[in-house]
């Protein structure tokens, strides 16, 4: 999406959030969904951009996608993703239970039970911050390795303010950090895993400087952060791929997949690290094939590439 369009949507959402918070959560989220669908229908330039992006990626992946069906859903999901978890403040447990459908929780719990920590392999597919909210709400020993997200719920803000050697605040990283700061952050993340904590880190962060690896995603070549591979290889922690899908009825579907292990050699062998980076991206690409409306920003990465990026260590993006 163009930066102007994103900023306009953020402005509309900031203005309407106080009203939406007074509504039942599913009603509020369906209203946000409607904003995105209305954008698609009433703004010709936006509709054209969405339709062209959908057609381009359908041709690349060999899929038969109908832009007139996927476009409104993708537009709605883009707006839902901007809201993050900000509509979940001051909700009852009963209301929250009604928002989440969870599949594969037993796979996550089995990995946790191994006592080696867990690398929760995240991404920017769907509503990734809602999965973070769910992990905190459910009481998992959980941390996130990446840039600090802004505009979040009170529950998440309280978690992110935790201090100490294992606190969340020391696991936030900056793209402007120097190599020593980046290395220190990775060592702190490894310590968190040794303490049997679930550590979320995104597998789809594009980054031009080491530690990174080349890989293909949606028909194009990029270099991606390999930090998650390094941490999984160093710690021996099981890796659990996880996704949070945005549903049009105002709910979310959280799905955990079976754990896998990354061999210790991948921390030192660049070609082996590249193999695992590609594996993580292939898993996401399969999700995009099945549910392109939850691709969120992936179809617009070409626009992102045209904008200058800050230099720094390849860490997980806040999204």
pLDDT tens for the 319 residues of the chain, in order: 444 555 566 667 777 888 999 999 999 999 999 999 999 999 999 999 999 999 999 999 999 999 999 999 999 999 999 999 999 999 999 999 999 999 999 999 999 999 999 999 999 999 999 999 999 999 999 999 988 898 899 999 999 999 998 999 989 877 676 777 778 888 999 999 999 999 999 999 998 778 899 999 999 999 999 999 999 999 999 999 999 999 999 999 999 999 999 999 999 999 999 999 999 999 999 999 999 999 999 999 987 665 544 433 333 433 4
Buried b (16+ CB within 10 A) or exposed e, 103-124: ebeebbebbbeeebbbbbbbbb
Residue 110 near residue 238 (C-beta atoms within 8 A): no
Of 26, 158, 17, 199, the C-alpha closest to 101 is 26
| Number of Cβ atoms within 10 Å of the Cβ of 175 | 15
Chain centroid offset of residue 131 CA? 9
Token match 């993006």: residue?
317
Provide the Cα torsion 29, 32, 36, 37; round to 10°: 70
Tokens of 221: 């070549």
Tokens of 315: 């860490």
Put simply, whether the predicted model's pTM sits higher than 0.85 gets the answer yes
How far is residue 65's CA from residue 63's CA, in Å, rounded to a whole number? Answer: 6
pLDDT at 3: 47
Chain centroid offset of residue 75 CA? 17
How far is residue 269's CA from residue 273's CA, in Å, rounded to a whole number? Answer: 6
Buried b (16+ CB within 10 A) or exposed e, 62-98: eeebebeebbbbbbbbbbbbbbbbbbbeebeeeebee
């Amino acid at each position: 999406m163009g930066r102007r369009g994103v900023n306009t949507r953020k402005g509309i959402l900031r203005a309407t959030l106080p009203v939406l918070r007074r509504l039942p959560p599913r009603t509020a989220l369906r209203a946000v969904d409607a904003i995105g669908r209305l954008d698609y229908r009433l703004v010709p330039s936006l509709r054209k951009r969405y339709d062209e992006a959908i057609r381009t990626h359908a041709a690349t992946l060999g899929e038969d996608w109908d832009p007139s069906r996927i476009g409104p859903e993708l537009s709605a999901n883009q707006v839902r993703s901007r809201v993050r978890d900000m509509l979940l403040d001051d909700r009852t447990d009963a209301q929250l239970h009604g928002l989440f459908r969870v599949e594969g929780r037993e796979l996550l719990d089995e990995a946790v039970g191994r006592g080696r920590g867990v690398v929760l392999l995240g991404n920017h597919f769907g509503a990734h911050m809602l999965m973070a909210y769910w992990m905190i709400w459910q009481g998992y020993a959980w941390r996130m390795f990446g840039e600090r997200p802004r505009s979040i719920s009170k529950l998440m803000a309280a978690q992110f303010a935790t201090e100490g050697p294992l606190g969340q605040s020391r696991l936030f990283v900056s793209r402007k950090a120097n190599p020593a700061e980046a290395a220190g952050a990775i060592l702190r993340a490894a310590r968190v895993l040794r303490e049997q904590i679930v550590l979320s880190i995104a597998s789809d962060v594009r980054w031009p400087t080491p530690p990174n690896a080349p890989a293909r995603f949606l028909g194009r070549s990029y270099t991606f952060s390999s930090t998650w591979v390094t941490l999984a290889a160093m710690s021996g922690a099981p890796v659990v791929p996880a996704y949070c899908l945005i549903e049009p009825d105002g709910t979310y579907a959280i799905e955990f997949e079976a754990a896998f292990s990354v061999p210790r050699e991948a921390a030192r062998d660049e070609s082996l690290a590249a193999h695992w980076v590609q594996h993580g991206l292939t898993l996401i690409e399969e999700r995009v094939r099945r549910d392109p409306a939850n691709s969120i920003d992936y179809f617009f990465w070409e626009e992102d590439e045209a904008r200058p990026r800050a230099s720094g260590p390849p860490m997980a993006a806040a999204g």
